[in-house]
Amino acid sequence: MSTFSIMVVDDEILTLNNLKKALEKEGYEILLADSGERALELLEKFRPHLILLDLVLPGISGLEVLKKIKETDREIIVIMMSAYEILEKAVEAMKLGAYDYLLKPFKLSELKTTVQRALETLSLRLRVLEELEKEKQRYYFGKIVAQSKKMKQVVDIAARVAQSDRTTVLLQGESGTGKELLARAIHYHSPRAEKPIVAINCAAIPETLLESELFGYEAGAFTDARKRKTGLLEKADEGTVFFDEIGDMSLALQAKILRVIEDGTFFRLGGSQPIKINVRIIAATNRDLTKETEKGNFRSDLFYRLNVVPIHIPPLRERKEDIIPLALSFMDELNREIKRNFKGIEPAAAQAMMNYSWPGNVRELRNTIERVMSLYQAEEIQLQFLPQEIRQEIELPENKILEQIARGRELPTLYHLEKCYIKKVLELTGHNKSQAAKILGIHPSSLFRKMKSWKD
């Protein structure tokens, strides 16, 4: 952190000079003002981290100056200096947002510790703000790659629902499609952005633990409960709760969650006092909740409560236009992170990636790019860098395959050869599948199965 700057405001020149000397010794940068007017003038050009402000000033009073400072910049820490006789004024100053006060006359050691403590608080706050900013950046909508029409629609709905601060959102999509990314983007774009988002993975926490994690407990609620524990729901107050994998939550817990959603209250385990919270709920699942409801695995009343704004994130294979933009964006990110200098993707590799079905969706794509970039140093992602299951998706014309066989180089896999041959036969029969199956000498259902396996 750069050096801290302090402005000292006092009408006594001697005090100003003494404080300047003492604080400069501590390594701070010092600005001096001999009146409130002068202080406010300086404030237009400089923003000190901290201001030591005398309460009794000849022109505009210390309290007035304090008010103006706080109007200009709430983050500046103000420490009042006041004589004992006007202590009640110092109290008033604290109410107006002063951080602390020093009673005159004070020892220099006292000054140092007070200033130090204030600046520690400040650096902590700055660090928190910095972290928050980073977090925001990471989950900003701008970071979400959405080239396809389908994904653009998803982002558009999410951006709109983010603004309405209490609306419950249900995100559904296969594993790795970006549900968590979207949930966080919604939170950081909502009026609750400065408050926490608490993510609860309902599938990862054992059922028995989940309840105490969510609701917390009172001391003595059970044998091991020595101290009261605040639950995750309480921690999310005024912010967002993200129930991840909600489809995996037990029916018993579903009933309790329903109550929280319905009236915003719950009890700590072993508690008798209802706790009221104000949270926005975002839930996500890779299951089909409509089906789970029909099967009786998911409460329909909870489903309707959650399904206020449903957002379905389509699998990557249904929005192929996103594949290459996503790959390039991960490439940029990883170039920086692992110090590589990849510039693009060679056409054959891009084609194979486009043809592949990505059962693990965006996560699988990201992992693939990361693996390639950490194993190879090159300018382009080449076909040969890709794992076998993706490489085999490259469509070679038949004659190229035969040529390869003849030359005995880069022999195609059986899978690929078969796919090629079947496609040729289909072409020759005008896509008449039963006729094609006859020529191939297999049952039509096998043909269907094989054709399906190319897609997913």
**175 binding partner (options Mg ion, ligand ATP, none; Cβ < 5 to 8 Å by kind):** ligand ATP
**DSSP secondary structure letter of residue 2:** P
Give the shortest CB-204-to-ligand ATP separation in angstroms: 10
Of 76 and 326, which has the nearer Cβ to ligand ATP?
A: 326
The pair of structure tokens assigned to 99 is 């951080």
According to DSSP, the β-strands at 229-230 and 216-217 are antiparallel
Amino acid (1-letter code) at residue 107 = K
By the rule CB under 5 A, 364 interacts with Mg ion:
no
Sorted by sequence, the CB contacts under 8 Å of residue 321 that are 6+ apart come out as 147, 148
Provide the minimum distance between the beta carbon of 361 and ligand ATP in the complex, in angstroms, as a whole number: 7
The burial class, CB within 10 Å (0-12 / 13-18 / 19+), for 368 is: buried
In the block, tokens 């078969």 appear at 418
From the list 143, 136, 153, the residue with the least C-alpha distance to 330 is: 143
- When the beta carbons of 92 and 180 are compared against Mg ion, the nearer one is 180
DSSP string, 99-163: -EEEEES--HHHHHHHHHHHHHHHHHHHHHHHHHHHHHHHH-GGGS---SHHHHHHHHHHHHHHH
Decide whether 203 or 405 has the Cβ nearer to Mg ion.
203
82: which residues sit within 8 A by CB, 6+ positions away? 54, 55, 56, 62, 89, 90, 93, 101, 102, 103, 104
Task: Rank residues 87 and 204 by Cβ distance to Mg ion and give the closer one.
Answer: 204
d(CA 53, CA 7): 8
Q: How far is the CB of 173 from ligand ATP (least distance, A)?
A: 6
* Residue 268 binds which entry of Mg ion, ligand ATP, none, CB below 5-8 Å type-dependent: none
Residue 23 and residue 115 in contact, taking contact as beta carbons nearer than 8 Å: yes
State the pairing for strand pair 275-276/265-266: antiparallel
Query: What per-residue string of b and e applies to 204-243 under the rule 16 or more CB within 10 Å gives b?
Result: ebeeeebbbbbbbbbeebeeebeeebebbbbebbebbbbb
180 binds Mg ion (CB under 5 A): yes
Task: Work out what residue 355 binds among Mg ion, ligand ATP, none; the CB cut-off runs from 5 to 8 Å by kind.
Answer: none
**Shortest Cβ 175–ligand ATP spacing (Å):** 4
Of 149-157, 177-185, 217-225, 437-445, the segment contacting Mg ion by CB under 5 A is: 177-185
Interface residue list for ligand ATP (CB under 6 A): 144-146, 173, 175-181, 286, 326, 362-363, 366
Contacting Mg ion within 268-327 (CB under 5 A): none
Smallest separation, CB 161 to ligand ATP (Å): 17
CB of 244 to Mg ion, least distance (A): 5
Residue with CB nearest Mg ion?
A: 180
Q: How far is the CB of 316 from ligand ATP (least distance, A)?
A: 9
* Residue 11, contacted partner among ligand ATP, Mg ion, none, CB below 5-8 A by kind: none
- Does residue number 380 form part of the binding site for Mg ion (CB under 5 A)? no
Q: Which of Mg ion, ligand ATP, none has residue 366 at its interface (CB below 5 to 8 Å by kind)?
A: ligand ATP
* Helix H or strand E segment including 243: strand 240-244
Rounded least distance, CB 313 to ligand ATP, Å: 7
Of 177 and 368, CB closest to ligand ATP: 177
Per partner kind, with CB cut-offs from 5 to 8 A, the member of Mg ion, ligand ATP, none near residue 181 is ligand ATP
* Cβ closest to ligand ATP, residue 114 vs residue 172: 172
**What's the one-letter identity of residue 453?**
S
Tokens of 228: 């009261």
315 binds, among ligand ATP, Mg ion, none (CB under 5 to 8 A by kind): none
- Which residues contact Mg ion by CB under 5 A? 180
